[in-house]
Amino acid sequence: MELEGKPVQHGFRMPAEWEHHSQCWMGWPERVDNWRDNALPAQQAYAEVAIAIAKFEPVTVCASASQWATARSLLPLHIRVVEMSMNDSWFRDTGPTFVVCDRGLTSTSGKSEHKVAGIDWNFNSWGGVDDGCYTDWSLDLLVARKILGIERLPRFLHSLILEGGSIHVDGEVDICASSSSLSCRPTISISATAKYCTTAYIVEKFRRVDNEFVLADSVGYGELVIAFRLHEHALIIDGRIPLGTCMTTGECLLNPNRNPSLTKEQIEDELKMYLGVKKVIWLPRGLFGDDDTNGHIDNMCCFARPGVVLLSWTNDESDPQYERSVEALSILSNTTDASGRKLEIFKLHIPAPMYMTVEESAGVAQIGDAKPRPPGTRLAASYVNFYIANGGIIAPAFGDEKWDNEAKIALSSAFPNHEVVMIKGAREICLGGGNVHCITQQQPVFPNNVGKHG
């Protein structure tokens, strides 16, 4: 089912990753021109991640027809394995961005439905034919649609080229009125001197009456109550004001190889309307060496809870990452989130610089159209690239005993109610261009259906 309009118009928002999940989705690596030694070491690493997550929540792994039996043999039976074609296995970027409606749409029968939906973004292999990681991504374009079809969830289709790893949200909302207290025809007082917002759907949904905006006659109870308090630029959705904050990087979303016809302001507007956030914080650059994705935020910085972020850091002033981390720290220290809070920033030190070895590079077949993996390439290794499960943190370990241990301690402190599990085989995922967060995609539970880990 495809929904018309934008998620915010239907009352949807992107939840924070620590909100309760119904399951986690993963792909299965197989392309030999990206994963060394016929992808066998990577498959072992993916299995390690899936098994770790399955301790806390259900996991579904998608594998191609030729790899289904292999995946099934490497995974315990409580992990579901389904057949699905893909160009590569980065489900953070090709899977749907799930959104939730805290009350649910109201159908003509008066029953609440569709509390979870998914955004199907456009995708161009992280840069298109000239700059991307491979030249054919036709199967990747279908992944989000297939997942939503399997789950029978509505889909919001968007032409914006965006990968899930390029955004992080805190999911914050403020309850300003109970759903039951909202009338079918609410009236929203607007200052006569308020700056008029020309967003198209407001023009369609509202008409001006003196100094007030009321729902147009064509809008019935079956459509969600949405109103703008224009003087505060605060969107009210079904009695809840999204106070959410999104973080991203200009290096990625403003890169000419993504959406060259859109301005920063236009991209920001789309993020607000599709993710249900009020503010977007832009970091200039992502992690040094994260060339495959053009600096995804999920290797650089993430939310631990509203008002609290974890930032990739190095104390080594000779490391090119140092300048990027200091730059990001300055921006984060001098901004506030959508609620006006100063951010609390925790530094998460990266491992010592890691590079692809001659042996590892030689194991990657030079037969396809994937981006070359030459020896000496610096790996984009970051402990920020972790997955939040229901009661668990699944984080990469890189064989750097000092910083692996420091990361586990830091993550345990940031998430005191979660068990931190370090993935020893994470280097194999890093060799392919990402890590734990990049290969996973959480599916939220229906709102108001939260279990013991909620």
| Concatenated DSSP letters of 248-279 | EEHHHHT-TTT-TTS-HHHHHHHHHHHH-EEE
Residue 95: which residues within 8 A CB-CB, separation 6 or more? 25, 143, 144, 147, 164, 441
Active site residue 246: no
Q: Can you tell me the distance from the alpha carbon of 323 to that of 338, in angstroms, rounded to the nearest whole number?
A: 26
Contact 258, 124 (CB under 8 A): yes
Q: Which residues pair with 92 in a beta bridge?
A: none
Burial of residue 409 (number of CB atoms within 10 Å: 0-12, 13-18, 19+)? exposed
Give the angle subtended at the CA of 227 by the CAs of 105 and 9, to the nearest 5°.
40
Contact 313, 349 (CB under 8 A): yes
Q: Would you give the DSSP letter of residue 2?
A: B
> Which is the catalytic residue, given 301, 302, 430, 438?
438
Q: Would you give the DSSP letter of residue 63?
A: E
Burial of residue 401 (number of CB atoms within 10 Å: 0-12, 13-18, 19+)? exposed
Q: Can you tell me the distance from the alpha carbon of 98 to that of 121, in angstroms, rounded to the nearest whole number?
A: 11
The residue among 175, 331, 156, 334 whose CA lies nearest residue 250 is 331
Q: Can you tell me the distance from the alpha carbon of 45 to that of 330, in angstroms, rounded to the nearest whole number?
A: 36
Burial of residue 391 (number of CB atoms within 10 Å: 0-12, 13-18, 19+)? middle
For residue 288 the two structure tokens come to: 């040094």
Q: Helix, strand, coil: what percent of the chain each, to 5?
A: 25, 25, 45
Burial of residue 108 (number of CB atoms within 10 Å: 0-12, 13-18, 19+)? exposed
Catalytic residues: 438
